Amino acid sequence: MMKEVAVKRLIALAILAGIAVMIYRYFADDVSRSSHLSVIE
């Protein structure tokens, strides 16, 4: 029982980490692009 909970927690952490990295890359890309073009939305 405890092993299943630990595995689920690891999977959840891995998914959250992946999402966090994707969001970070997206925002970093956005910031670098807008600073180059200086486009006001």
**38 has pLDDT over 60:** no
Rounded to whole angstroms, the maximal C-alpha distance in the chain is: 54
For residue 37, the Cα-to-chain-centroid distance in whole angstroms is: 24
Percent of the chain with pLDDT over 90: 56
The pTM assigned to this predicted structure is 0.58
Region 18-35 average pLDDT: 85
pLDDT at 1: 72
pLDDT at 41 (0 to 100): 52
For residue 28, the model assigns a pLDDT of 86
